[in-house]
Amino acid sequence: AKMPGRVEEKDLKGKLRELHKKRITQQREYDDLQKFCEKFKTDSKLTPKIFVKRYLNSLKNASDEMSSAQICLEGLVRYVQGRISKIHQENADIWIHDHTTILKNGSKVAANTSENLWVLAMVDRYIPQRGRYHVIDADAQQSVESRKHYKLEPSKLIPLPSLDQYPITKRRIFKPNEWVFAMYPGTTAFYRAKVLSSPNSKDSPPRYTLEFEDDGNKKIHVGIEKVAPLPRPSPSN
């Protein structure tokens, strides 16, 4: 089924072809009317009634052409808007969200729980009255009862969508020498790291080879789901 307000390319092309035919027909009628006007000046057999009739008919066709042109223009605008929206969706930054998109319960995130500490957490729920998320530390080494709970603003969270949500073909792939934010293996903490190599088709699951800041020259493999862009500066900074 077609989406409401969406214009299919096939339909738009059909309307444009119809408009083109009307434009050609109307141009011929206009040329004929011009010739008739010249003839009307010298031919006494032609009455004003005939002239008015042809003029009104031409005016009606011109109005019809303008209506068709308006429909095509509106359709073209909606078509372009739809294409732009699709491009934006395909190239959307999956690690950024705002108040217009609420993270689902159970979503994994990197959570800024203190000044310089980011840890893996899970969204428990969104609190609309406060504009904050209730998240739970996702440290598997701790019992569920002992895990810490936080209430954080959206700017304190970086979504970490799974490969099921966003397969590798729909993700921006970080390139070698690019700095990223990644979870250090064996911990739930996120740190700055430099990309040494990007995931390739042979990796299953796909992973990056990284060099973490202040960690010597160690080559560390980190799964693609645990790698994100560096946090954006806080609005207060």
Digit-coded pLDDT (tens) for 76-118: 877 776 665 555 455 456 777 655 678 889 999 999 998 889 9
What is the predicted pLDDT for the residue at 28? 87
Can you tell me the distance from the alpha carbon of 181 to that of 116, in angstroms, rounded to the nearest whole number? Answer: 13
Clarify whether residues 133 and 220 are in a common domain: yes
Range of the domain at 145: 108-228
- The band of 1, judged by pLDDT with boundaries at 50, 70 and 90, is very low
Can you tell me the distance from the alpha carbon of 130 to that of 109, in angstroms, rounded to the nearest whole number? Answer: 19
- State the chain's mean pLDDT as an integer: 84
- The band of 34, judged by pLDDT with boundaries at 50, 70 and 90, is confident
Digit-coded pLDDT (tens) for 44-80: 777 788 778 878 888 888 888 888 888 888 888 777 7
Contacting residues for 136 by C-beta, under 8 A, at least 6 apart:
121, 122, 124, 147, 148, 149, 150
For residue 3, is it within any domain? no
What is the predicted pLDDT for the residue at 124? 94
For residue 237, is it within any domain? no
For residue 182, is it within any domain? yes
Clarify whether residues 128 and 222 are in a common domain: yes
Tell whether pTM > 0.85.
no
| Distant-in-sequence contacts of 125-130, Cβ < 8 A, 24+ apart | 126/102, 127/151
Residue 125 belongs to a domain with what CATH number? 2.30.30.140
Clarify whether residues 53 and 120 are in a common domain: no
Structural domains of the chain, count? 2
- The band of 197, judged by pLDDT with boundaries at 50, 70 and 90, is very high
Clarify whether residues 121 and 198 are in a common domain: yes
C-beta atoms surrounding 146 within 10 Å: 9
- The band of 131, judged by pLDDT with boundaries at 50, 70 and 90, is confident
Give Cα separations from 7 to 3, 68, 79, 230 (angstroms). Answer: 8, 15, 5, 38
Clarify whether residues 189 and 147 are in a common domain: yes
Clarify whether residues 129 and 71 are in a common domain: no
Clarify whether residues 62 and 121 are in a common domain: no
Residue 226 scores a pLDDT above 90? yes
Clarify whether residues 79 and 141 are in a common domain: no
Clarify whether residues 112 and 223 are in a common domain: yes
For residue 235, is it within any domain? no
For residue 171, is it within any domain? yes
Can you tell me the distance from the alpha carbon of 183 to that of 106, in angstroms, rounded to the nearest whole number? Answer: 18
Give Cα separations from 88 to 4, 40, 97, 155 (angstroms). Answer: 19, 59, 14, 21
Can you tell me the distance from the alpha carbon of 29 to that of 35, in angstroms, rounded to the nearest whole number? Answer: 10
Clarify whether residues 61 and 19 are in a common domain: yes
- The band of 166, judged by pLDDT with boundaries at 50, 70 and 90, is confident
Average pLDDT over residues 163-177: 89
Q: What is the 3-state secondary structure (H, E, C) of 110-159?
A: EEEEECCEEEEEEEEEEECCCCEEEEEECCCCCCHHHCCEEEECHHHEEE
Helix, strand, or coil here: 212? strand
